[in-house]
A and B are shown apart, each in its own frame.
Chain A
């Protein structure tokens, strides 16, 4: 009942708001010729926020009034002062030109002659005006006309370009994307001077109206991908998308899957590499993380460093990562299976010493492993939440002290601590954070399977995961390609990374428009 009444109340309230907006008589959503009216309207629309700046002044030495409206802090003040206000106030005076009689012509004159600013446009509705102001532009109202000039004056405080924290590399570019969309597109632009590099703009968020850019290289990308991405992005209906994660979840193929179907990065070089492979890149304003798709399983274990280091090293590191992935997923499960079901598989002497070390441990191996893995996950979570210096301390305190004490207390066996530690280290070696998360998740499923049916459980779970993977798609591309719809050519850059000179073609599984990466056979653009 209580809930019900609350719901009713709530409903009433929303209705009230709606009617308030609709029936509000004290302002209108249209533009008028009268300056005062316009200013009143914009004030009322935004409810006179404290950071709204309205500066009224006269044009040149005439008495013709005009006003600029902007949000303080979102705009480049210097630009407004020197290129807008100064020009309007001074230029017309100096040139001693007669101000055009018709206000509409004033607008044109300003547009053509006065405003020494690159981005100026005419708008005709209050909606557009408010959107422009709220995104950091300046609105120039001129008395006597219902046309408003929008001056591109975005300029707010940005985080400077820094090294990406989540994807540190030893060798490779040090810059990372920031929260500003424009800076991010610039970073891509600076790396690809191809006329075919396309940035397609979208707006997401009913209320937040954030800019979203889809980048791809025309002529490389399979046009179907662009169409598909476009179709999916059009379906987005959110009130806000604070991070690309929202976009990802909205447009991914299977939201029930533990595996990510888009990769994300804050490294421009990674984004560029994806573009060059014929992938699509999605950038969102307000987050340094961009999305890249389609994603295949092989991609999740690759790092840009594979290409920056020499190919032998790169190949070995990749194989190491595959091993790491295997350990991260299977080791605790194998421990459980071997210790509880198949001790015959453990070498005799090791088996005896495991038996000795488990002497007095009260739990079966599964509970033991589960407890330790949960502890590990908690430590990791705690380490992330805490400020950096404390986070590290927690890692050490947790890892060493809890591990040591648990063994001393006979709570777990020392072998278990080793297993957990190796698993944790292996899962940290994954270059993709979201893949590492997926692995961490399915690790527990494997542990459960092992606890019930030993190796048989593990292999059945493995087959089941594979069944899921072969049915999984990313932007319509099979997740297991180029392994399972086999493209042997692409194997050159999969588990191993062949020398750059042999990678003359783009991945075949991407079905790109232009396959040649090197040589002058085709791509002379």
Chain B
């Protein structure tokens, strides 16, 4: 009996050798997509009988050309005309999946999206109603996609950004996603937004921001952000670098940056190494909700045009005071922009209200940053506490 069983087992296993391997595709036969950019082409014809989406998109897909990569690696062997390490292919359709399938017609190596790093959506697409979420659907649904794909909003055409050149990185998509990591040095950038984050926002319907990317000549610029209204996931407007910086202070995403202040009419630069914030909510009356934001920063004197004696506590506290003022100004300006101009709570204050007073929140949830817009009506206080930890290697660099 046992012998029969084992022979049956062996036969069963052997039969698989005959059938071959369904999923085996060698690594060099795959067309790695590293970046995708989505642009709007046109509205489709409504009268058409065919089932069609409302818009036609042009998807630009960045494929890796491994041969180009190795050429770059091996130095000057290729001579002057070195091959590009990537190839951007465009495809137009109302369905993203169809776009991807269309690529298989054009490329010898079938598209493979597991290494997709970057998704750029153009401003035009994001501003059309429902368009943004429809695009996101495939990326969230498809098992090939990671939740760590970085999402950006392009000012102008998205496809051309995938051509951004860099000497260090041979793949523009990698180049861009590496730039997104640099928030520790620059606070006018928003920290990178992952696809998973977007998914959560699409589901819980809170307003959010996504980093903006623009082409400036040959180079990209990633300061600023796009603001999205939560309930319909539609982009409202871009905010500039300054506002983004203030936003970073409020959301606690501030990783590092600098504050320029004037002390005795000369420039002193405060290099922030650490920032944190606390938010308190006071909901005595839902008509006037009070938020109290306390921001604390730690930093050093990065640059000082004025020769000051930083060993002196009074000088330090004076510098700290000006820094605090400057930060407060920036933050208040940001709050003003969001409350009055955009009227959208991308600051995440609603979340605090929700965990603080769930009953009230349930009542006003539908009218938080739309309709009655309790958000715009709420009062937001800002307190800033800055500390100068050191003045660098010297107290004074000149006398």
Contact = CB atoms under 8 A, between A and B. Distances in A.
Nearest to B25: A340
Interface in B138-181: 144, 171, 174
B26 A359 contact: no
Contacts of A355: 27-28, 30, 32, 64, 66
Interface string B56-99: 00000000101101100100000000000000000000000000
A340 B26 contact: yes
A339 B27 contact: yes
Instruction: Give the contact-size bracket for chain A.
Output: 20 to 34
B34 A354 contact: no
Given A348-B115, A348-B174, A452-B21, A356 B69 contact: yes
A359 B114 contact: no
Interface string A321-358: 00000000000000000011101101011011111111
B29 to A, nearest CB: 9
Nearest to A451: B21
Chain A CB within 10 Å — which of B26, B64, B114, B171 has the most?
A: B26
A290 interface: no
B24 A352 contact: no
A412 to B, nearest CB: 13
B32 A351 contact: yes
B114 A364 contact: no
A457 to B, nearest CB: 9
Nearest to B170: A352
Report whether over half of chain A's contact residues are helix, strand or loop; otherwise say mixed.
helix
A353 B24 contact: no
B112 interface: yes
Given A451-B21, A453-B21, A364 B26 contact: yes
Contact of B69 (A346, A352, A451, A452): A352
B27 A340 contact: yes
A346 B26 CA distance: 13
Interface in B13-43: 16-17, 21, 23-28, 30, 32, 34
A354 B27 contact: yes
Chain A CB within 10 Å — which of B69, B171, B174 has the most?
A: B69
Contacts of B243: none
Interface string B110-146: 0010110100000000000000000000000000100
A159 B362 CA distance: 92
Chain B CB within 10 Å — which of A340, A343, A355 has the most?
A: A355
Interface residues of B, number: 25
A359 B71 CA distance: 12
Contacts of A346: 27
A268 interface: no
Contact of A359 (B25, B28, B34, B174): B28
A250 B18 CA distance: 37
A341 B25 CA distance: 6
A496 interface: no
Contacts of A451: 21, 24
A353 B70 contact: yes
B70 A364 contact: no
A357 B67 CA distance: 8
A361 B25 CA distance: 14
A348 B27 CA distance: 12
Interface in B340-374: none
Nearest to A413: B28
A356 B28 CA distance: 7
A358 B27 contact: yes
A340 B23 CA distance: 8
Contact of A357 (B16, B70, B112): B70
A454 interface: yes
Nearest to A448: B17
Nearest to A365: B26
B27 A452 contact: no
Contacts of B171: 352
A424 B25 CA distance: 27
Contact of A361 (B24, B28, B67, B115): B28
B177 to A, nearest CB: 10
Chain A CB within 10 Å — which of B25, B27, B115 has the most?
A: B27
A348 B30 contact: no
Contacts of A353: 66, 69-70, 73
Contacts of B23: 341, 454
A359 B66 contact: yes
A332 B21 CA distance: 18
A343 B112 contact: yes
Contacts of A453: 16, 21
A417 to B, nearest CB: 16
B27 A351 contact: yes
Chain B CB within 10 Å — which of A349, A364, A452, A453 has the most?
A: A452
A361 B26 CA distance: 10
Interface string A87-121: 00000000000000000000000000000000000
Chain B CB within 10 Å — which of A343, A361, A453 has the most?
A: A343
Nearest to A354: B27
A453 B21 CA distance: 7
A348 B28 CA distance: 13
Given A348-B115, A348-B117, A453-B21, A343 B69 contact: no
A348 B66 CA distance: 12
The 6 closest A-B pairs by CB, nearest first: A344-B114, A356-B66, A356-B70, A355-B66, A358-B28, A339-B27
Interface of B: 16-17, 21, 23-28, 30, 32, 34, 64, 66-67, 69-70, 73, 112, 114-115, 117, 144, 171, 174
16 contacts: A339-B27, A344-B112, A349-B174, A351-B27, A351-B115, A352-B32, A352-B66, A352-B115, A356-B69, A357-B70, A359-B67, A364-B24, A364-B26, A452-B16, A452-B21, A453-B16
Given A358-B27, A451-B21, A451-B24, 11 more contacts: A340-B21, A340-B24, A341-B25, A344-B115, A352-B171, A353-B70, A355-B32, A356-B67, A359-B28, A359-B67, A365-B26
